[in-house]
Amino acid sequence: MTVREIESKSLLRKVRRPDSWFLTKYGMNIYRGCSHNCVYCDGQAEKYQVSDNFESEIEVKINAPQLLEKELNRLAKKREKPGFIGIIGGVSDAYQPVEADYKITRQILTILSECNYPVMILTKSTLIERDIDLLKKINDKTNALIGMSFSSVDDEISKIFEPGVEPPFRRLQTLAKLKEAGIKCGIFLMPVIPFITDSWEKMNDVFRKAAKLNLDFIVSGGMTLKSGRQSDNFYSVLDEHYPELSTEYSMIFTGNKYGSATDQYYQSLNAPLVELSRLYKIPLRIPFIGFDRQFTLNEKVIIMLEQLDYLIKLQSPKSPFGFAAYNLSKLKEPIEQHQFFLQSIKGIGKVTEKLIQEIIQTGTSDYYKRLLHIS
Ligand code: SF4
């Protein structure tokens, strides 16, 4: 493996609007490239302009801690509620093996802790256990949220598709330790690998094990296969281990420019997800509870509406909430100023107005809690 130290010009990237999947408003990549070497990894696609040897040439943003300090200072001056600061990657995992030596993620957490910022981390590595002390500190002061990613909890399948990470049983142990430390955490079940980890049995295993650990959420996503490196890599492994599936794959991955499978295939995952979430009482989104210090009321309403929109669309083609959330995201002033004229905002009808009023008055909504199976 080649490790290249680089000096980056900036670190934090602001997302267009608060992300209802991760509850982040800012994100960062500490590394580029990832030696976890997951066969399906979207980050290896050419569009992200990473090295041809995504898994063996790792760039380390050596000045990331200094950049973060500067950028948080600027952020503090704006007096903006920061949402969760995301260490989610996209083209890397902040706890890949090189982190054991460089400890940059640890330095980043130290700064976030000292400056009182909340953090959301998505990883596939048990190395995060090393930082439970810091995460606990952050969680006590503001909040820490951890997502551990899995494509299934089957150790044998994981060996084939995730050769560079610890098996699912070890990652579940890490989640148990995080829970023990009082940190909210759950599973990012993504990607669900078509015809391999998408059966009822495989998904049921994930929910059953998550329920046993009393995890806080399971957020699921389907697989994409962008043409080029990502597809080539995936199909060579598929041909080696599951040659019988090549026809099924050609039926659902038809060359869409985003690498998406057919809508029909993605929709086939919805019913089991809804049913398993109901059976095990595990939310399919990170429940928005207790995060009022990190988000404005406008942002809170938008996130809750977007989460509801997602949950409704798992079962029905239409939902009124997505369009309403989009229009609310354009409001410049606090939503309370519109409290008595909400229906004058595009996309907000009677039902949505009632729900927003309930959130404004009580901080939550019974409907939201029912759909997320939280009390
Ligand atoms: S851990 Fe994430 S970033 Fe790293 S190879 Fe796997 S999918 Fe890609």
Which of ligand 1's atoms lies nearest the C-alpha of 90?
Answer: 3
Residue 45 · residue 229 · CB < 8 Å? yes
Protein residue with its CA nearest to atom 7 in ligand 1: 41
Q: Is the CB of 92 under 6 A from ligand 1?
A: yes
> Cα dist. 224→31, 240, 256, 339 in Å?
22, 20, 10, 41
Cα 369 to middle of ligand 1, angstroms:
32
- In this structure, the residue with its CA closest to atom 6 of ligand 1 is 38
Question: Is residue 171 in contact with ligand 1, taking CB distance under 6 Å?
Answer: no
pLDDT at site 48: 74
Residue 206 · residue 153 · CB < 8 Å: yes
Ligand 1 contacts CB of residue 41 (under 6 A): yes
CB 51: neighbour CB atoms within 10 A?
Answer: 16
Atom nearest to 36 CA in ligand 1: 5
pLDDT at site 339: 85
CA dihedral (225, 226, 230, 236) positive or negative: positive
Tell me what pLDDT residue 78 has. 87
Mutate to test the pocket of ligand 1, among 35, 42, 57, 92 (most ligand atoms within 8 A of CB): 92
pLDDT number for residue 317: 86
Please give the number of the atom of ligand 1 that sits closest to the Cα of 44. 8
CA 185 – CA 149 distance, rounded (Å): 11
Of 177, 375, 145, the closest CA to residue 283 belongs to: 375
Along the 375 residues of the chain, how does pLDDT read in single tens digits? 899 999 999 999 998 888 999 999 999 999 999 999 999 998 887 777 777 788 889 999 999 999 999 999 999 998 888 899 999 977 899 999 999 999 999 999 999 999 999 999 999 999 999 999 999 999 999 999 999 999 999 999 999 999 999 999 999 999 999 999 999 999 999 999 999 999 999 999 999 999 999 999 999 999 999 998 899 999 999 999 999 999 999 999 998 888 999 999 999 999 999 999 999 999 999 999 989 999 999 999 999 999 999 999 999 989 999 999 999 999 999 999 998 899 999 999 999 999 999 999 999 999 999 999 998
Ligand 1 neighbour 99 (Cβ under 6 A): no
Ligand 1 centroid vs 207 CA: distance in angstroms?
22
Cβ of 138 closer than 6 Å to ligand 1, yes or no, is: no
Decide: 38 in ligand 1 pocket, CB within 6 A: yes
- Would the CB of 86 count as within 6 Å of ligand 1? no
Closest ligand 1 atom to the C-alpha of 89?
A: 3
Q: Which residue in 188, 214, 262, 259 sits closest to 22, CA to CA?
A: 188
What is this structure's pTM?
0.96
Q: For residue 174, report the distance from its CA to the centre of ligand 1, in Å.
A: 17
- Does 33 contact ligand 1 (Cβ within 6 A)? no
At a CB cut-off of 8 Å and minimum separation 6, what does 68 contact? 11, 12, 28, 108, 111, 112
Pocket test of ligand 1: the residue of 1, 30, 36 to mutate, having most ligand atoms within 8 Å of its CB, is: 36
Which protein residue's CA is at the shortest distance from atom 3 of ligand 1? 92
pLDDT of residue 211: 98
Instruction: Check if 43 has its Cβ closer than 6 Å to any atom of ligand 1.
Output: yes
CB 149 within 8 A of CB 103: no
Q: Look up residue 296 and give its amino acid.
A: T
